[in-house]
Amino acid sequence: MRAFVEPALGALWDAPDGGVARIARSVLSPLEHVYAAAVRRRNRAFDRDGGHVVSGLRAVSIGNLALGGTGKTPVARWTVRVLESAGYRPALLLRGYGGDETLLHARWNPSVPVVPGADRIAGAESARRDGADAVVLDDGFQHRALTRDVDLVLLAAEDPFPGRLLPVGRNREPVASLARADGVVVTRKSAPRDVAGAIVERVSETFPHLVVGRLSLGLGGWEGLDQAPSDPPDGSALVVTGVARPRTVMDLAERELGVGMELMAYPDHHAFSEDDVRAIRRAAGSRVIIVTEKDAVKLEHHAADLPSVRVMVQSMIWEQGEEQVTDLVIGGGP
């Protein structure tokens, strides 16, 4: 069911407001109101009752309003390294859904404990018992059961601001929820710098208490499935990916290589099977296969069956507010 619903809704969210898309949004609009009411009730309950505090543990949440694709994973990696540089002993708390983010964080930060699981309170207490004095929640803004010291929310400049709620739009919460955040980072992949800057200005004007930053996510290089540096593909390729916004991956590859690509998209966090690998090989033919780092950690054990794969290594470049966001993350230090 998810494999069908997610791509269908993704196509609706990205479609221009006209024709079939307008009709679909109109049909789904009552469900958006039902969802909004449920979100309000849930947030009122947490506002009233609060969350659980794990004593002696600094908790930093990296979250968003929308479903996926804002850059939480690389920003969580950056946050871990900032905390380490400040003298903390951090651990990462992940939902663990699909396994790709767990594997990727373990590869990026082999010395940092990665604790998967939906129960963030249990994860935080486990990390504390094992010697951590800080935790980073990857995708934590809606997981309010665990009280955090810092809520950092990411907004993608490619999304409309303010966006609509599920199922009409990507947002899990309304923009008004930023009132409970401590900082916002506007991320951009394909959006122009001025579009991201305009969102920064609107957020700063509407929520003057927030620390606001801006960064770009792009291509930092190419690797093979064995993590060895590699040359970029020569000519058109097959882009294979199971991420929240597959078209942004293809767009980046086309922009960097200057040629058209074919996209083979799977649902976010997809676990690639042997049948998938055979289908990918058939579709690719003699062409190179391009994947993201998230896809690579799940495809690396299929390397013998996929001899011509290039992995897009993501870069993260701060354009505004790095020092202020760093200060917010580390607080007064351990």
- Span 121-153, pLDDT tens digits: 999 999 999 999 999 999 999 999 999 999 999
The tokens describing 154, both together, are 């990411």
Mention every residue, 6+ apart, whose C-beta is less than 8 A from residue 163.
65, 66, 169, 170, 171, 175
Local confidence band at 206 (pLDDT 50, 70, 90 cut-offs): very high
Give the domain extent around 224: 219-315
310 with 258, same domain: the answer is yes
* More confident site: 281 or 333: 281
225 with 195, same domain: the answer is no
Which H or E run contains 101? helix 100-108
**Is 15 part of a structural domain of the chain?**
no
**Is 171 part of a structural domain of the chain?**
yes
C-alpha separations of 109 from 35, 62, 104, 178 in Å: 37, 17, 9, 29
Q: What average pLDDT does this structure show over 64-81?
A: 93
Local confidence band at 12 (pLDDT 50, 70, 90 cut-offs): confident
Asked if residue 174 lies in contact with residue 183, where contact means CB atoms within 8 angstroms, the answer is: no
Predicted pLDDT at 98: 60
Other CB atoms within 10 A of residue 292 CB: 23
Tell me how far apart the alpha carbons of residues 92 and 314 are, in angstroms, rounded to a whole number: 20
Other CB atoms within 10 A of residue 88 CB: 23
**Is 79 part of a structural domain of the chain?**
yes
* More confident site: 106 or 222: 222
Predicted pLDDT at 4: 47
Predicted pLDDT at 230: 94
Q: What average pLDDT does this structure show over 189-195?
A: 94
The conformation of residue 209, written as its DSSP 8-state character, comes to: T
Q: What average pLDDT does this structure show over 210-228?
A: 95
Predicted pLDDT at 32: 94
Asked if residue 154 lies in contact with residue 63, where contact means CB atoms within 8 angstroms, the answer is: yes
**Is 28 part of a structural domain of the chain?**
no
Asked if residue 71 lies in contact with residue 156, where contact means CB atoms within 8 angstroms, the answer is: yes
Local confidence band at 23 (pLDDT 50, 70, 90 cut-offs): confident
The residue to which tokens 């010291």 are assigned: 149
CATH code, 99 = 3.40.50.300
- Structurally, the chain folds into a number of domains equal to 2
Other CB atoms within 10 A of residue 273 CB: 10
Q: What average pLDDT does this structure show over 81-96?
A: 94
Tell me how far apart the alpha carbons of residues 92 and 213 are, in angstroms, rounded to a whole number: 22
322 with 236, same domain: the answer is no
Comparing CA positions, the residue from 156, 4, 18 lying closest to residue 75 is 156
**Is 26 part of a structural domain of the chain?**
no
Tell me how far apart the alpha carbons of residues 42 and 114 are, in angstroms, rounded to a whole number: 28
Asked if residue 142 lies in contact with residue 39, where contact means CB atoms within 8 angstroms, the answer is: no
289 with 326, same domain: the answer is no
* More confident site: 249 or 69: 249
3-state class percentages of the chain: helix first, strand second, coil last, to nearest 5: 45, 25, 35
Across the chain, mean pLDDT equals 92
Predicted pLDDT at 1: 39
280 with 146, same domain: the answer is no
197 with 240, same domain: the answer is no
**β-strand pairing of 238-241 with 183-188:** unpaired
* pTM of the full structure: 0.92
78 with 176, same domain: the answer is yes
